[in-house]
Structure 1
Amino acid sequence: MGSESIVFSIFLIFSGAAVVSSFALFTRQPLIVGYIVLGALFGPYGLDLVSDSNTLEQISHIGIVFLLFLLGLDLQPRNFGKLIGRSAIVTITSGLVLCLIGTSISHALGMQWIESVLIGVSLMFSSTIIGIKLLPTTMLHHKRTGEVIITILLIQDGLAIVTLVLLSGTDHFDDLTAWLGVAIALPALMLGARYAVRWVILPLLMKFDRFHEYIFLLAIGWCLGLAELSQALGLSLEIGAFIAGVSLANSPIAQYIAVNLKPLRDFFLILFFFSIGAGFDLGLIKEIWLGAVLLTLAVLILKPYLHAKLLITLGEPKSMSWEAGFRLGQTSEFSLLIAFIASSQGLIGVVASHVIQATTILTFLISTYIVVFRYPTPIAVSDRLRRD
């Protein structure tokens, strides 16, 4: 694929994304869905305008690396206190129930056990992007509802990261030698990163903190460098990027790095979600529709119910508990990452991967409409419900 075609592909993707994003905002939809739909439309199974989706997929993988790096940067010790208590009980209990139900439905439809379990796991998480974006700022900072939702999402993000790390940790889950290598390489990488930050990275950042371009370049170099080292040690790019972020989390410059890297992360994540859509084989609709519909119904019905009932049982107000339940009533962008990584590792087949993707898209769409028409959001159709 020549450089001209790469430039043309990126032109099509981002020009199309601008149009689709405008339409998504007018119709009160998550932008992620727009990027995936655009990929399906422009990709090999649609109009075939962007035919070499494999190249774009490799480029877009950088978005996942930056995403995990930034998640690591946010994982500061002072945040752990928020993860303990009632929200942890609610998150883990509801997650396990949904995982079991998703696994049972998938296996009953003929999926292999490993595929069924991973489909079940993908149902455990709710969308941080949708959850936060649909919360009014006043609720985000001052209301108990916002506090409960954010805490549950933080716990889910932590569990999702652990899942991604386990999935991408080795290409050979039944290879004892590979696991022993991981057991040695992982702590060695973490320890090496800690001392490299203390003795090299932080002194450099403190000495040249006036040069913002240098901070930006050093952060990217540290993220990608540790990611490549991690892969060389038999781990994965994702593990290295996450460790790179955690190692910098306590530094005074962590928030500055996080803010300045987000636009770059978003650039590559748009490519990632586009590549997800481009790889979506519309010809498999007949094979996946039943599983996707059943799992979507399970998520849309059981997630709000389980969250609400558990929160009420633990003493939270009834109205707040149901609102939190409906706001968390979808699967997650992490579900797409699970499908992507599990598929690339050969743990699940094409059909199982498409079932996860279709379920995620459907729950994104329907859940967003439910929240927008019932609860206060910045994008509510009704003036009565619109809150900035």
Structure 2
Amino acid sequence: MESGSLLFSFFLIFTGAAVLATGALFTRQPLLVAYITLGALFGPFGLEIVNDTDLLNDISHVGIIFLLFLLGLDMQPSHLAHLLKKTATVGVLSSFIFALTGYGLGLAFDLPQHEALVVGVTMMFSSTIIGIKLLPTTVLHHKHTGEMMVSLLLLQDLFAIVTLLLLYNLEPSHQSGYSDLALAFAALPLMFLAAVLLVKYLLLPLMARFDRFHEYLFLLAIGWCLGFAELAHSLHLSYEIGAFIAGISLATSPIAQYIAINLKPLRDFFLVLFFFSIGASFNLDLIGMVVVPAVIMTAVIITVKPVVFGFLLRRVSEKQSTAWEVGFRLGQTSEFSILIAVLASSQHLISGVAAHIIQATAILSLIVSSYIVVFRFESPIALSERLRRD
């Protein structure tokens, strides 16, 4: 993508997405498949129409930030703490099982032990985007099923952040050592306390005084979200954690639902770019070397994850239907898996082939898991009228 052609690239991406999405709807396919396919087609390893995928990936990252901000708006802090306490055992045990499974698969494909270890780590995570994107905002967010799933995803996100911090500190040019890790976790409770106090004594009074100016409320909400995202990043946490803290600090306010409704179109705009960038980042020249391991790993993941989550959730007294639904909704690897693979490859901790096996497994599992959810469970894009819920 040459300088000055960002508008043309947006035209290609969103026009192409509209065309492929139309075909996906007529053929009863999940829309996410259309966006990923378009990225592979237009990206630097396809027709090479859109080349600067790094820029698009940075832009699309904003969509994930808004996604976590809106998620926080739907969660009550006291209830979230209760759920995290309940799901901590499930989250830790399941992550260990998935990591061990991935490590064994890596060794089975003759990867070196250190590469198999990275593969195992990437198997720990489920996709926050897929999980929440396919979760009806007016139904399951206010039901126990959705709350259990969200609490498990948040716990996994914390594990992913620790992993990224550890990898970042392995970079030779990074001199601060593991003090950043300690700083990050010390900052978490302080950030949350600061957010709560600022909402009570600054944000809510401003919103109450100027509540008739809807444009102002919209700008204030965006500034609040992105401000805490930047603050978290400066403290060696992720942008997503900062956005989530910003959202949850507003969850008890009367303006929370208004903000959520108005920010959803903006979030969806950026998420199209995110899924496009996932497809565009995959090197199609390596497909012959990674397709068999990726297909096998995807089959194992989408089989093992529902079984493990279903079993463990039943052990903490969840209903069988709830346990299985949460397991299937979390039955994929994650966008964090792709980030970890890219970072580990850039630091020469794993080979390009191993990195693409991880990325291909993530893409395939995202697609297959989306099919399973839209065919079997309630979601905004379910293929059956009976299951379609906004």
- Residue 198 of structure 2 aligns with which residue? 196
- Residue 165 of structure 1 aligns with which residue? 161
Q: Deviations over 1:174-210 (max 9, x none)?
A: 8133334435554544443333222222211121122
How do 1:103-182 and structure 2 match up within 5 A? 103-111=103-111, 115-126=115-126, 147-148=144-145, 150-169=146-165, 171-172=168-169, 175-182=177-184
CA contact (8 A) 1:182 1:235 kept: yes
Q: In the superposition, relative to structure 1, how do residues 313 and 191 fare at CA in structure 2: closer, same or farther (>3 Å)?
A: closer
- Residue 213 of structure 1 aligns with which residue? 215
- The answer to whether structure 1 residue 331 and structure 2 residue 328 are counterparts is no
Q: 1:305 aligns with which of 297, 304, 307?
A: 307
CA distance in structure 1 between the aligned counterparts of 2:188 and 2:250, rounded to whole angstroms:
17
Q: In the superposition, relative to structure 1, how do residues 286 and 51 fare at CA in structure 2: closer, same or farther (>3 Å)?
A: same
CA distance in structure 1 between the aligned counterparts of 2:196 and 2:94, rounded to whole angstroms:
35
Shift of 1:14: 0.4
Q: In the superposition, relative to structure 1, how do residues 314 and 179 fare at CA in structure 2: closer, same or farther (>3 Å)?
A: closer
- The answer to whether structure 1 residue 283 and structure 2 residue 275 are counterparts is no
Question: Matched residue of 1:306: which SS?
Answer: helix
Shift of 1:110: 4.5
Q: Deviations over 1:10-64 (max 9, x none)?
A: 0000011111222223333332222111111000100011122222122222222
Aligned residue pairs total 380
How do 1:81-120 and structure 2 match up within 5 A? 83=83, 92-111=92-111, 115-120=115-120
Shift of 1:245: 2.2
Q: Deviations over 1:233-284 (max 9, x none)?
A: 4444334323322332332222222221121111111111111111110112
CA distance in structure 1 between the aligned counterparts of 2:187 and 2:161, rounded to whole angstroms:
14
Q: What TM-score do the two structures reach when normalised by structure 1?
A: 0.80
- Residue 174 of structure 2 aligns with which residue? none
Q: In the superposition, relative to structure 1, how do residues 268 and 106 fare at CA in structure 2: closer, same or farther (>3 Å)?
A: same
CA contact (8 A) 2:77 2:248 kept: no
Q: Deviations over 1:44-100 (max 9, x none)?
A: 100011122222122222222222222333332243377379876655544432221
CA contact (8 A) 2:102 2:116 kept: yes
Q: In the superposition, relative to structure 1, how do residues 74 and 107 fare at CA in structure 2: closer, same or farther (>3 Å)?
A: farther
What amino acid does structure 1 have at the position aligned with 2:74? Answer: D
How do 1:261-276 and structure 2 match up within 5 A? 261-276=263-278
Q: What TM-score do the two structures reach when normalised by structure 2?
A: 0.80
Question: Matched residue of 2:5: which SS?
Answer: helix
Q: In the superposition, relative to structure 1, how do residues 118 and 69 fare at CA in structure 2: closer, same or farther (>3 Å)?
A: farther
CA contact (8 A) 1:126 1:156 kept: no
What amino acid does structure 2 have at the position aligned with 1:26? Answer: F
Q: In the superposition, relative to structure 1, how do residues 258 and 356 fare at CA in structure 2: closer, same or farther (>3 Å)?
A: farther
Q: Which moved more, 1:44-53 or 1:306-315?
A: 306-315
- The answer to whether structure 1 residue 248 and structure 2 residue 247 are counterparts is no
Shift of 1:338: 3.5
- The answer to whether structure 1 residue 50 and structure 2 residue 46 are counterparts is no
What amino acid does structure 1 have at the position aligned with 2:272? Answer: I
Q: In the superposition, relative to structure 1, how do residues 246 and 168 fare at CA in structure 2: closer, same or farther (>3 Å)?
A: farther
- Residue 26 of structure 1 aligns with which residue? 26
The gaps in structure 2 that reach 5 residues or longer are 172-176
Q: Which moved more, 1:130-139 or 1:112-121?
A: 130-139
CA contact (8 A) 1:226 1:240 kept: yes
CA distance in structure 1 between the aligned counterparts of 2:260 and 2:209, rounded to whole angstroms:
19
What amino acid does structure 2 have at the position aligned with 1:327? Answer: F
Q: In the superposition, relative to structure 1, how do residues 330 and 51 fare at CA in structure 2: closer, same or farther (>3 Å)?
A: same
CA distance in structure 2 between the aligned counterparts of 1:156 and 1:135, rounded to whole angstroms:
14
Q: Deviations over 1:152-172 (max 9, x none)?
A: 422322123213432455732
- Residue 15 of structure 2 aligns with which residue? 15
- Residue 73 of structure 1 aligns with which residue? 73
Question: Matched residue of 2:169: which SS?
Answer: coil
The gaps in structure 1 that reach 5 residues or longer are none
Q: Deviations over 1:118-167 (max 9, x none)?
A: 5334434555666677789999599xxx844x344223221232134324
Once the two structures are aligned, what percentage of the paired residues are identical?
Answer: 49
CA contact (8 A) 1:340 1:353 kept: no
Shift of 1:225: 2.1
Question: Matched residue of 1:259: which SS?
Answer: helix
CA contact (8 A) 2:228 2:242 kept: yes
CA contact (8 A) 1:190 1:243 kept: yes
CA distance in structure 2 between the aligned counterparts of 1:235 and 1:217, rounded to whole angstroms:
24
Shift of 1:339: 1.6
